[in-house]
Structure 1
């Protein structure tokens, strides 16, 4: 197989911004390899954050217009990135930005029109990775476990702490993965209400105290009792979590501290419930891996039989964009990139729609 030169684009539920990762990806001697050559993060303006956050409430025609204009914007940013670094690329693999995720209703939607993206960038584009899996009866999420298996399979567990926390691991020679629950989504919601983008290193949370009533309500959320496969989206957060935050009258520091203890309670419970040996390794990526207080709290809750491995900052921040680059390569090769053992679909699939510029 050739060495693919591909850009992965990722915009997550934490609404931080757009991640671009230019990767070389290859298959050699039965295993997959990658090299992250160039990266860039583009922070969303307050206006864009609000527009993305509120897009679930848009009428259909306005949502589709935004789908197209956001796709053009993604293409323009990709073109700038390519020209800035004088890159030669085979394709762009774009996750888009999830606005609607209701797999029980057969619906998942990521804005960022592939055709508009291709036209604006002048490059081949692979996007819309979730729809086919949902059409096959699956959750359409999480998708990153294919990368966990092919790139990071030497760890017992792979934990992503993005807007949402999700985990993946091998069980009976199948990859199992699901959304555990909250991560940065709750923390960023609290800080943004107070005019801050995020709590750097968890310093504010560290100075706070647990609000036991709020913690109890969060830990009692019905989602945590559901069987796997399962996944959540922004709608769930708005409907189930925001009312708990809004009804809790306490300081930002205490709300953040409580949020972190809740995240760690749920993550530790799930990881420990799947440990099959005395010593286990947990590979942590996503923005939450940069929250020192969160990681320290998680280590305490996991105990001695789980060793937490936090990798270098570049991979923490750009793992998801890199995995979407891999998913694009697999789609171009017509190889499986979405695992039914993860999503609950009728079958594995090679998902994603390919667009050519015109």
Structure 2
């Protein structure tokens, strides 16, 4: 097997805004060279289907079930990811032979690790067959089957980036997608990681409900609003914040009912502050105070959330872009990186990040034209 491999990572996050694709070259360890990236937004109709699939997934008790609209949603996810890759190859004058492996996350519709149940829809074998490229998919399942939380999965990649940048001291890499997760990176230890609380999901859902647009563009609503401290205090009473890691969240763990009586700007400001306050509360589970927070994901584009984070942590808060990384493509790059690690039999998860009993590799390899792998 090659030392350096060309991998294309595909990510459709819990915010369900679209698909990110990012190309990297990596050895699956400390060497990462970032290449071009692309994104494809879901249409309003496609988002509606995915939201129906989330609602239908609540009844699932087995990974292979596909009740209600989940069949149609899985076909959509597979087709849209194939479209993204095909367009990406054409745009960058690449052929399938130029890509060693695709890391395919799929779309999470259910995550209940305490029941050893996590479901990411998307047909990895069909994707490999349609593209003629090997695909590694279903990367959370092995960890959950062994009693881990299956999340966060990105810490191995965060650690590689922090070490390559030679950043001194303890560094927290904070991903703010639909939910928030932190990777605590310090020399001489495996990364510590867990979900911190809500990130963009509550804001996106509220904005969709009230304005028909599923995001607070550039934090405009939050910047115009006022935080309701009483409501914020109420939100912070959720039992999740007193749980010790390892721990992880389903997208719908938290409710936005507490802000129902607030104006849209005040509601969004309060939810943005909730994201930051929950991150600050997560510090109690870290071995030492991070000297630096590096933010990636959609939250890195929200100045209101960044301002709240700076106020809550009292230390420098910077975006991944400031380090020459990619705040928006971090997760897609990470799944490319994890696909290479999977092919090489290297760990994707660690006891300190998911609570699994040992460091575990994972993922299912789909080879074009080969017999379908069982989940």
TM over 0.5: same fold?
yes
Choose which of 278, 284, 287 in structure 1 pairs with 2:298: 287
Which of 307, 325, 343 in structure 2 is aligned with 1:332? Answer: 343
Q: Which residue of 2 aligns with 1:209?
A: 226
* 2:249 aligns with one of 222, 232, 236: 232
Does the Cα contact within 8 Å between 1:272 and 1:302 map onto a contact in 2? no
Decide whether the 8 Å contact of 2:103 with 2:339 is kept in 1. yes
Gaps of at least 5 residues in structure 2 are 58-65, 370-375
Secondary structure of the structure 2 residue equivalent to 1:351: coil
Which of the numbers 182, 185, 189 marks the counterpart of 1:173?
189
Instruction: Tell me the equivalent position of 1:121.
Output: 131
From 38, 47, 52, give the equivalent of 2:45. 47
Is 1:243 the counterpart of 2:250? The answer is: no
Partner Cα distance (1:201, 1:163) in 2:
16
Deviation at 1:308, TM superposition (A): 1.6
- Could you tell me how far 1:220 is from its partner in structure 2? 1.0
Match of 1:344 among 349, 355, 358: 355
1:94-118 deviation per Cα after TM superposition (whole angstroms, max 9, x unaligned): 1111001011111001011101111
**CA distance in 2 between partners of 1:340 and 1:82 (Å):** 37
1:74 is the counterpart of 2:66: no
Across the aligned residues of Structure 1 and Structure 2, the Cα RMSD in angstroms comes to: 2.0
Q: CA deviation at 1:340?
A: 2.4
Q: Deviations over 1:207-262 (max 9, x none)?
A: 1112234212211111111111100012424xxx14334xx222110001101111
Residues of 2 paired with 1:5 and 1:19: CA distance?
Answer: 17
Gaps of 5+ in 1: none
SS in 1 for 2:195: strand
Q: Secondary structure of 1:331's partner? A: helix
Aligned-partner Cα distance in 2 for 1:173–1:130: 22
TM-score, normalization by structure 2 = 0.87
Alpha-carbon distance between aligned partners in 1 of 2:90 and 2:47, rounded to the nearest angstrom: 26
**Residues 65 and 14 of structure 1, relative CA distance in 2, 3 Å threshold:** closer
Work out whether residues 7 and 91 of structure 1, in 8 Å CA contact, stay in contact via their aligned partners in 2. Answer: yes
Aligned residue among 209, 214, 235 for 1:218 = 235
Deviation at 1:301, TM superposition (A): 1.6
The 10-residue stretch of structure 1 (97-106 or 53-62) with the greater mean CA deviation from structure 2: 53-62
Separation in 1, partners of 2:224, 2:287 = 32
1:338·1:350 contact (CA, 8 Å) conserved in 2?
yes
Task: Pick which of 291-300 and 79-88 moved more.
Answer: 79-88
> Normalization by structure 1: what TM-score?
0.91
- Give the deviation of 1:23 after TM superposition: 1.3
1:72–1:113 CA contact under 8 A, matched in 2: no
Equivalent of 2:198, from 182, 206, 213?
Answer: 182
Aligned counterpart, 2:217: 200
For residue 69 of structure 1, report the CA deviation from its aligned partner: 4.4
SS of residue paired to 1:143: coil
Q: Work out the number of aligned pairs and report it.
A: 347
Q: Does residue 1:261 correspond to 2:270, yes or no?
A: no
In the alignment, which residue of structure 2 is the partner of 1:15?
16
Corresponding position of 1:311: 320
- Could you tell me whether the CA contact under 8 Å between 1:264 and 1:298 is conserved in 2? yes
- What secondary structure sits across from 1:10 in the alignment? strand
1:161 equivalenced with 2:176 (yes/no): yes
Name the CA distance, whole Å, in 2 between partners of 1:41 and 1:195. Answer: 21
The verdict on how the C-alpha distance between 1:203 and 1:349 changes in structure 2, with shifts beyond 3 A counting, is: same
Q: 1:100 touches 1:235 (CA, 8 Å); kept in 2?
A: no
Q: 1:125, CA displacement in angstroms? A: 0.3
